Structure 1
């Protein structure tokens, strides 16, 4: 990522929101939520989602953009953040990313390669292929397929986390590279 951004992270309830509002006011900034759960509408309890009053007129992105039943991956997060950062910068404002999901922020800031746009047709077809494989053969066999291709990634992903196993297999197929090595690029 080449666009300069301000990133505010830290434990829950240390004042990240108030600090981000102060910075946004002082330096003409707009705020992007770095939290993977704040994207969901009507999921306010347990997410420490900022209220409209707390926003104090500062524009916020990545809050209440999806219905709860919609899927939101780290690749979706990166795609949305990049778009929002560009939009904010094009308006001569400073992008401020606040709080969030550690892995999502790390993937964005460190430039993890996640195999490109998750919504293109070939990616959807790969996902369906691996989902059908899992339905026919089970989660253990699915995980074993990943282990054959990338034992390092397989050791980091639990057998029962079929969504991550499938995503790793998709990325390996799409890029031709080990999933475990994808984050090393910047």
Structure 2
């Protein structure tokens, strides 16, 4: 690792691969504090469906960016970038090592690389026209337009987050580049001295673990957790687009039976794991550790040796 940049450990991998347990043991060995790199664990009242770590599982290791906003709040990748960079400085000030753990690729990427969320691609005239269209035509029309020109950005933006829908369209109309391409084209300079570690395993075994995790979530009270949010009237917001919530909302709305909602939850979770792996492999320089046929302690030792060689 470079001596000029702050050191940072990042542990990534698909859902259900085993990041949580391993991160705790790594944090203990490395005198680290953990920053959640998950775009949904920021929400209060959404514990089971986001596989949020419990106080007992933390085992004394300090965690950050968990339970920080209400389910009705919006929270962007720019918010995450700003918060995490501030927290990293605070962790360093306490003499600890910061470690980001999670599976939301763009969020983590925005922190470790010099991504600029600025007004460089802004045009007040274009924005005003889009705001007028929002008022006269409604957000659905603008969102459908965004899906056609930049499906990747649209998949990350809830249609009711009108500010971000307009921003993505403004970038495209101003520069001719999609928001996703605009970010991708920026210089990929690492801001930190990063040990970027990824966990992977045999795809079929991972999918089986995901199915089992969903069953465990249901046994642990996921239906009740989602029902409380549903009866509070929380809907059409960013948080409820999370896997595990949107499927069960369909059940509570009477569109599908419960068994169908659970099957969709499992299928969407498996698809998400596949997308996570594709993202990490294509867009980040990861040192992968296959945990398929290894004991927990073997994996832990291998990763600690790798980090020791970089710290």
User: 1:20 Cα deviation (Å)?
Assistant: 1.1
Q: How far apart are the structure 1 equivalents of 2:10 and 2:87?
A: 14
Seen in structure 2, the aligned counterparts of structure 1 residues 129 and 70 have a Cα distance that, compared at 3 Å, is farther
Matched, 1:142 2:142: yes
With structure 1 as the length reference, what TM-score do the two structures score?
0.74
Structure with higher Rg: it is: 2
Contact 2:33–2:61 (CA under 8 A) maintained in structure 1: yes
Contact 1:154–1:165 (CA under 8 A) maintained in structure 2: no
Q: How do 1:1-186 residues align onto structure 2 when only pairs under 5 Å count?
A: 2-115=5-118, 130-131=130-131, 133-139=133-139, 142=142, 154=150, 156-158=152-154, 162=159, 163=161, 164-169=164-169, 178=177, 179=179, 180-185=181-186, 186=188
Seen in structure 2, the aligned counterparts of structure 1 residues 38 and 157 have a Cα distance that, compared at 3 Å, is closer
With structure 2 as the length reference, what TM-score do the two structures score?
0.47
More deviation in 12-21 or 48-57? 12-21
**Structure 1 residues not aligned, in runs of 5+:** 117-125
Q: How far apart are the structure 1 equivalents of 2:141 and 2:48?
A: 37
- Report which structure shows greater RCO (CA 8 Å, sep ≥6): 2
Seen in structure 2, the aligned counterparts of structure 1 residues 146 and 69 have a Cα distance that, compared at 3 Å, is closer
Question: Deviation digits for residues 11-42 of structure 1, max 9, x if unmatched?
Answer: 22222111111111111100000011101111
